[in-house]
Amino acid sequence: MPSKKESIEIARLAAHPLLLLDTSFISRRTFDATCRLTGVVPNVVFESRTPHTLLAMAEKGHGVAIVPSAVRIAGYPLRITRVTYRRKPLREPLALFWDKRRPLPSYATAFCTMLAQRVREVFPISQPSEARRAASVRP
């Protein structure tokens, strides 16, 4: 796979047998839209509503699992690579919403703080395999 940052352009990935979440997931809709922009037809061999099913199938060699970066992959001996379009990773925005007409309770403020901390902790799990290995051997 290309580059030291461990990424693969969606056009190169589309020909491989792909294991994808079903179309109710925003990450799948983003993937499909990017395929349309690129002008490629993905080789979808299996769809599921559970990312861990896709990871298990990839582990057994049935294809390439495309899952959101927030999915915990600990325990799966898989190579992790970012999917890119024009060298930029595919992403979806994250947001929390509340009614500004009402005061934000202290538990909601605490939740936002904890969520932000958790996201910072979890997202390194989905970093490319090489970056995770390098981070784990730092003193």
Q: What is the pLDDT of residues 63-114, one digit of tens each?
A: 999 998 878 777 788 888 888 888 888 877 767 788 888 888 898 889 888 8
Domain total of the chain: 1
What's the CATH number where 50 sits? 3.40.190.290
C-alpha 110/C-alpha 38 separation (Å) is 42
Asked, for residue 33, whether it belongs to a domain, the answer is yes
Asked, for residue 1, whether it belongs to a domain, the answer is no
Q: Which domain holds residue 35?
A: 7-136
Asked, for residue 28, whether it belongs to a domain, the answer is yes
Asked, for residue 73, whether it belongs to a domain, the answer is yes
Q: Which residue has the higher pLDDT, 46 or 86?
A: 46
Asked, for residue 2, whether it belongs to a domain, the answer is no
Asked, for residue 119, whether it belongs to a domain, the answer is yes
What's the pLDDT at 4? Answer: 43
Q: Is the pLDDT of residue 20 over 90?
A: yes
pTM over 0.75: no
